[in-house]
Amino acid sequence: MDCTPVNYSELGFSRLFTDYLNENEEAHSFYNGRSPFQVGSFLKQAKARGIQSGVGREELSDLLMKFNAPFNPGEESIRNILALKDKDTFTVVTGQQLCLFGGPLYTLYKTVSAIALAKHLSEKTSLKVVPVFWLADEDHDFEEISFTNAFSKDHELIKAGIPSTAFEGHSAGRLQIDEHTEQAKSLLAEILGASSDQFKEVNKLISDWTPGAKWRTSFGRMMMKLFGSHGLVLAGSDDSGIKNALSPVLKKSIAEAAQIYDKLESQSSAVGDKYHVQAVVSESQFFWHDEKEGRVKIPFESGKCKLPGLTGSLSDIDASEYISEHGLWEKLSPNVFMRPVLQEYLLPNLAYIGGGAELAYHAQMKSLFAHFEMEMPLLLPRLGATVLDYGTKRVMKEAGFPFTDYKRPVRELQRDWVTEFAGYEVNETFEKWERELQKLFAEKEPYISDLDKSLGKSAKSTQVRIEHELESLRKKMIRSVKNREEVQMSRIRRIGNTLFPNGVLQEREVGFVFVIAAHGRVFSDSLVNIMAEEPFRFMKAHQIIEP
């Protein structure tokens, strides 16, 4: 497996993200101040994290053992859960929505990043570090998780998904899979070839996605099949035992909702003075699980809270007491800002690994962690990568464009290939004609004006018409060359679809089961082992991977 780095600045990533990777002091001021790309920072983080209050080690291990039981964890995962009882064992966390069949490639890359970093730190320090994948089991945007994409033989991206209307509004962790999943499997089989070795490999991986099964259980079992041998531990917040363990933070969050809002607003404003603000801050940081309505936002306004099922509004403190008195912690569901806080309270965590957007909204949270007297975790970018198969690499060489050029629309690349690489020199020829035309009219303009001054404007008009006709002829010639070079045009279209499907990075559109189908489970295992040697180097640049 060969990996070639590409600078993120060449791929259009945000200035905050690229500044953070370059360890710009201004960018890092919005985080905890320690470099996330040095092993020593993790040792300091562990020391600071060790004196922070949170869920007790014995209780945490018991909670995670129960939480992971439905996912059929292997020996390595169980060993890691038990290891968390020890005060010198810590975690690195990543997470993602529970997408159908695992969702896009970046889910795989996030998991690989956490495992590789945990392995590296365990080998290079005296710490035991456990990789944790946080299941976003309380998210309720079903449209985002209801499909996966795979390439057809013609390198066209095809969606294998299920209708979202039946599940609208309900959190993913509470959903049950219906018969539509079998239809999605059938479409995946059609794309990959039902009798092919590729589909057989994928079918083993997604065999737990069956009607009647819980969505969370199916996702979790798939992750354990792929990463259990690396000791991956799964966690999530839609669990009664875990919610009760998190009750001190939840109670404080509701009782001090107005203070939390002010601090988020202030921090976000400071970020906004320098960079783009990723997430919108609202007065309410929580949702409510309603059996009929699904996951609904709890209205907070001017220090008053309206809990579903109650008439009238309560003060923040009274709402907190009411939830506590009736043991309704399981009803509460965190938003994008509160989820990291709950993770830090539950787990002895050193770092969170996420994409550019996640790193960006964490910049808005520095004062929030301080409010809860918590150490802000180190923030690291997940592995970003594009898989380049041999066939695509070969036709890329023939086309002549570098990887980053394929961010552009395919039609522009086809046009440029015709004019620059096809040997017809269309643009050069027409530019020469235009210069000659301009020279000719410039030379004859005095002669025409001397004969009749009124003919000067007519001459200029004639020149413009001829230039327009030449431009029209140039476009016709390019179309003609395109038609004659349709094979090459198809190749450029194939490369563009493969590297930047729908105009975005491959990792955001292509389902990771497609890559497992093409390259086997050895792909993820090899990636873990290679990245574990130098995780920070892999994290600081986008990688072109040649399996």
User: What pLDDT does residue 172 have?
Assistant: 84
User: What pLDDT does residue 449 have?
Assistant: 75
What's the token pair of residue 324?
Answer: 């506590």
| 31: exposed, middle or buried (Cβ count in 10 Å: 0-12, 13-18, 19+) | buried
What's the token pair of residue 25?
Answer: 């002091």
Contact at 8 Å (CB) between 99 and 148?
yes
Who's near 318: CB < 8 A, 6+ residues apart?
none
User: What pLDDT does residue 465 have?
Assistant: 87
- Could you read off the pLDDT tens digit of each residue along the chain, which spans 547 residues? 899 999 999 999 999 999 999 999 999 999 988 999 999 999 999 998 877 778 999 999 999 999 999 999 999 999 999 999 999 999 999 999 999 999 999 999 999 999 999 999 999 999 999 999 999 998 888 888 889 999 888 888 899 888 866 566 778 888 888 888 899 899 988 888 888 888 888 899 999 999 999 999 999 999 999 999 999 999 999 999 999 999 999 999 999 999 999 999 999 999 999 999 999 999 889 998 887 778 889 988 777 888 888 888 899 899 999 999 999 999 999 999 999 999 999 999 999 999 999 999 999 999 999 999 999 999 999 999 999 998 899 988 888 899 999 999 988 888 888 776 665 667 777 788 778 888 887 877 787 777 777 777 787 788 788 888 888 888 887 777 667 677 788 888 899 999 999 999 999 999 999 999 888 889 999 999 999 999 999 999 999 999 8
| 547: exposed, middle or buried (Cβ count in 10 Å: 0-12, 13-18, 19+) | middle
User: What pLDDT does residue 496 have?
Assistant: 92
Please write the tens of the pLDDT for every residue from 7-25: 999 999 999 999 999 999 9
User: What pLDDT does residue 422 have?
Assistant: 60
Please write the tens of the pLDDT for every residue from 43-71: 999 998 877 778 999 999 999 999 999 99
Tell me which residue of 511, 528, 540, 538 sits closest to 184, measured CA to CA.
Answer: 511
Distance CA 16, CA 271 (A): 9
Q: 314-315 and 233-235 as β-strands: parallel, antiparallel, unpaired?
A: unpaired
Tell me which residue of 408, 398, 410, 389 sits closest to 544, measured CA to CA.
Answer: 389
Distance CA 205, CA 231 (A): 17
Q: 89-97 and 349-354 as β-strands: parallel, antiparallel, unpaired?
A: parallel
CA distances (Å), 5 to each of 416, 481, 497, 528, 539, in order?
Answer: 25, 35, 21, 17, 10
Distance CA 11, CA 18 (A): 10
Q: Phi and psi at residue 159, in whole multiples of 5°? A: -90, 125
Tell me which residue of 390, 545, 542, 498 sits closest to 150, measured CA to CA.
Answer: 498
Distance CA 511, CA 103 (A): 5
